[in-house]
Structure 1
Amino acid sequence: MVSDESADQQIVDDEVIRFTSELIRIDTTNRGGGDGRERPAAEYVAERLTEAGLRPELLESAPGRANVVTRVSGTDPLVPALLVHGHLDVVPADPALWRTHPFSGEVHDGVLWGRGAIDMKNAVAMVLALVRSWARTGWRPRRDVVLAFTADEEDSAAYGASWLVREHAGLFAGCTEGIGESGGVTFHTETASGAPLRLYPIGAGERGTAWLRLTAKGTAGHGSKVNDDNAVSSLAAAVARIAEHRWPVRLTPVTRAAITEIAAAVGVDTGLAAPGFDPDRDLDAALERLGSAGSLVRPTVRNSANPTMLDAGYKVNVIPESATAGVDGRVLPDGEDEFRSTLDALTSDRVAWEYVHHSVPLAAPVDTPTFAAMRAALVTHEPDARVVPFCMSGGTDAKQFAELGITGYGFVPLRLPPSLDYQALFHGVDERVPVDALRFGVRVLDRFLTTVE
């Protein structure tokens, strides 16, 4: 005889796969600049939540740009609430480049394919399947759990989390911590002796976003004439200086903890705690000792600024009066003053720069009961796992929710095989996820939410 618990788990397993597939089939491509439509997915999510007895609010910030928020009441109204958030939009995908259509949601040989399979309709499906299970079994978490499914995360969050924080802050009353994307996923590496090692990095920080527009002004003229006030030349020189600049090392507490814990798991001594260790001189060599695991922290030991766009002129024999460039800047906690002063120096007085989009860097403590509960949930279902903190090189909606005083962690657990490069799947061609990874993720998420104090 199949127990009620086993029967319900089978429903969860089936629903997390079905929901992921069905959400992928809803094209919620976000092309940026306001060009997106999440409402069909938001309606789908709201319907699944309503079927579970919840009362979701569908909140549209602009035509088609919809968000869903609801609250699962906990058993103890005196403890702080917990936010669980995920986004409904996805980045563009060219079907001509994919092995299967990016919005098919097809399952082949135990793998589910499509845009959003990793980023992050899989996580939305996990949460939906989980709270529906709670409704069937009558279980309630100790803490209130606020669920937020947002628009526009893949651009500026202006139509999603940023708008919710500004216009509907009351929906998040009592929330002190939150979990969102980019953490709790298998990272395959090996120990110093060559033994296989499975790390599970949990996001405990994010670099801030500093998307910039550079503008150079000059004197327009004929392309055949000498022109010492050429806007294109001035801009090109500034862009080259930015690209070539080597930022100094800035070791944050989260990244220091990440290096320490990864080194212990790998079984090497990085020398980080040795007297006389000079981060600018010694850190790159120390990270090499971590092997492939060094890639988890290498992008987050410095600020960065990468030129990504250039725009100037309309005809080859005309020197234009202006030229612009786009730069993707990322800033570590406590690194914003350094970033601004460095950009001032690199652009000089010939080129002006401004923020197109700016969000603050984040850091979360790793010695909290919440982090311990995430660690324990992973180890329960993966006993050989080594759970470590890390700082994300990019950003998530946690930045917006931080404005409400909500401490954010990256925790969307997945157990992936060595053959799948998780980071390459983000925004990549042939995005996909094993169905067993979804089943693992929903179990770990359940364990965390049912044990976190």
Structure 2
Amino acid sequence: MTPINGEEEVVELCRDLIRIDTTNAGDNAGPGEREAAEYVAAKLSEVGLEPVILESDTRRASVIARIEGTDPDRDALLLHGHLDVVPFDAADWRYHPLSGEIAEGCVWGRGAVDMKDMDAMILAVVRQRLSEGRRPPRDVVLAFTADEEAGGRYGAQWLVDKHPELFEGCTEAIGEVGGFSVTIDGRERLYLIEAAEKGIAWMRLSATGRAGHGSMLNDENAVTEIAEAVARLGRYEWPVRLTPTVRAFFAEVFGREVTAEEAESLVASLGPLARMVGATLRNTVNPTMLQAGYKANVIPQTATAHVDGRFLPGHEEEFFATVDELLGPNVTREFVYHDIAVESPFEGPLVQAISDALRAEDPTARAVPYTLSGGTDLKAFSRLGIRGFGFTPLRLPPELDFAGMFHGVDERVPVDSLRFGVRVLDRFLDYS
């Protein structure tokens, strides 16, 4: 087999994946991931692997493959990335989001950041290593999943429920969202490693009142009840709660223990990073949808609202007790989607392998744990006892607002960052 240069190949792999439309609006009505899954499977087959494509529904496809390591007695490592992307309005973009355009030193398109960049880096590293006859020290399971952007019902959750045997022996994992660099004060380069994720509670709120004519007095108005409940939730100031990962982040960045009273002011000094870290200091609830009525002069019997709730690891009970108190006795809630929070101690051989691989390519690199305010497929894989981290290694220009491009317009990843990621992942597989 002719050796493959992963650094040269990764850019074209990323562009190819971006050009395959895998938009996922959460209604199971989009193009699905089948075409992307077939592309990935073909690339893995070319280097001797036997990937399996699994469909959870029509065109909702994931790819699983296993690489045998040199030490059969060791536990396996899971590398996972999702194939779907969020929708877009092409008119808002400088370059079409399905073009995979190369401009200004970057690959542009939906998924360039979230997360076809990592899919491409995994493919490039695996193809290079296997073309050179280099197996990793331990078994590596590759998972390219469907439906992550809608919670994973047709992807990671389905795989864990229906095909847990494919992950036999896996005890650790890496995936999104972490490993990218941020520059503090224009000089220090930190690489944020996701070690925790907030839990998710998307809820539908309902109020029932007395229907009637809009001109008459009505003290059982469902619209009033739902509006007041939503306002209480939306305006509530949740207390700061410093979880172990958040405390570790502050200790690494500021060199000391930080109190809850000073945490917010310190976060404000972090520039663009403040948006990511600020949301991990407390539980949150954001109202997102309201619906009631059908005519201006008719008081409806029912009114509903949707809210997006996120709770910190270890604080789920407090979160729901507070939500119920704020809702009051006349508003009920039900889950649209509910998933756990996860947190792993930032220590051990896998963390050391992450740090060593980064420093080998960037001697100034410092790996720093942080909490993700959103969620990833790690929530599903953790149900199999797998401990994981967000590690998509990218050395980024200081001026690039990388975090702001997740689900944003003009999503793009620097070409040099992709190549850097290939080198780091290659070392990481040796070190892990």
TM-score, length-scaled by structure 1: 0.92
How far apart are 1:294 and its partner, in Å?
4.7
Unmatched 5+ stretches in structure 2 = none
Contact preservation (8 Å) 1:262, 1:290: no
Structure 2 Cα separation of the partners of residues 238 and 163 of structure 1? 35
Pick the aligned partner of 1:110 from 105, 116, 122: 105
Deviations 1:8-31 (A, max 9, x none): 57x212211111101111000001
What secondary structure, in the 3-state scheme, does the structure 2 residue paired with 1:132 have? Answer: helix
- 1:414 corresponds, among 369, 376, 394, to 394
* Contact 1:377/1:447, CA 8 A, preserved across alignment: yes
State the shift of 1:147 in Å: 0.4
Partner residue of 2:198 out of 182, 200, 207: 207
Partner of 1:35: 29
| Alpha-carbon distance between aligned partners in 2 of 1:142 and 1:25, rounded to the nearest angstrom | 34
Are residues 1:196 and 2:191 paired?
A: no
Q: Does 1:372 align with 2:352?
A: yes
Q: Deviations over 1:73-129 (max 9, x none)?
A: 111111110000000000001111111111011112421110001100111011111
Tell me how far 1:295 sits from its aligned partner.
4.5
Paired with 1:256 and 1:355, the residues of 2 have a C-alpha distance of 30
Aligned mates of 2:24, 2:274 — CA distance in 1? 32
Between the aligned partners of 1:402 and 1:80, the Cα distance in structure 2 is: 15
TM-score, normalised to structure 2's length? 0.97
Question: What does residue range 13-412 of structure 1 map to in structure 2 within 5 Å?
Answer: 13-36=7-30, 37-190=32-185, 196-264=187-255, 272=258, 277=259, 279=260, 281-288=261-268, 294-412=274-392
Deviation at 1:297, TM superposition (A): 2.7
Deviates more, 1:378-387 or 1:112-121: 378-387
Give 1:162 deviation, angstroms: 0.3
Corresponding letter in the other structure for 1:27: D
SS in 1 for 2:150: coil
1:298 shift after superposition: 2.0
Distance in structure 2 (CA, Å) of the matches to 1:39 and 1:293: 35
The answer on whether the counterparts of 1:259 and 1:297 sit within 8 Å (CA) in structure 2 is: no
**Cα distance 1:306–1:66, how it changes in 2: closer, same or farther (>3 A)?**
same
How many pairs were matched up? Answer: 431
Task: Classify 1:286/1:103 alpha carbon distance in 2 versus 1 (closer, same or farther; 3 Å).
Answer: closer
Farther-moved stretch of structure 1 (379-388 vs 439-448): 379-388
Q: Give the letter for the 1:283 counterpart.
A: A
**Corresponding letter in the other structure for 2:155:** G
Cα distance change on mapping 1:225 and 1:339 into 2, 3 Å: same
CA drift at 1:296 = 4.6
Q: Which secondary structure state, in structure 2, belongs to the residue aligned with residue 251 of structure 1?
A: coil
**Partner residue, 2:425:** 445
Task: Indicate if the aligned counterparts of 1:84 and 1:178 stay in contact, CA closer than 8 A.
Answer: yes
Q: Compared with structure 1, are the counterparts of its residues 94 and 147 closer, same or farther at alpha carbon in structure 2 (3 Å cutoff)?
A: same
Cα displacement string for residues 163-191 of structure 1 (whole angstroms, at most 9, x for unaligned residues): 0000000000000011011111011221x
Task: Tell me whether 58-67 or 221-230 shows the greater mean CA deviation.
Answer: 221-230
The 1-side partners of 2:138 and 2:131 are apart by 19
Structure-2 separation of matches of 1:154 and 1:229: 39
SS of equivalent residue, structure 1 residue 404: coil
Whole-angstrom distance in 1 between the partners of 2:421 and 2:9: 13
Give the superposed CA RMSD: 1.6
Counterpart Cα distance in 1 of 2:224 and 2:429? 56
The 2-side partners of 1:118 and 1:293 are apart by 16
**Cα distance in 1 between the residues matched to 2:210 and 2:41:** 56
Aligned residues with identical type, % of pairs: 54
Distance 1:163 1:24 in 2: 24
- Bigger mean CA deviation after superposition, 14-23 or 164-173: 14-23
1:400-419, Cα deviation, whole Å (9 max, x unpaired): 00000001100001111123
Distance change >3 Å, CA 108–CA 288, structure 1 → 2: closer
Retained in 1: the 8 A contact 2:276–2:403? no
- The answer to whether the Cα contact below 8 Å between 1:263 and 1:290 also exists between their aligned partners in 2 is no
Question: For residues 25 and 165 of structure 1, what CA distance do their matches in structure 2 show?
Answer: 29
Mapped to 2, the partners of 1:35 and 1:402 lie a distance apart of 28
* Cα contact 1:189–1:293 (8 A) shared by 2: no
2:249 alignment partner AA = A
The amino acid that maps onto 2:107 is L
Q: Give, as a single letter, the amino acid of the residue that structure 2 aligns with 1:114.
A: G
CA deviation after TM superposition for structure 1 residue 52, in Å: 1.2
> Aligned equivalents of 1:372 and 1:254: distance in 2?
16
Counterpart-to-counterpart distance in 1, 2:306 and 2:341: 20
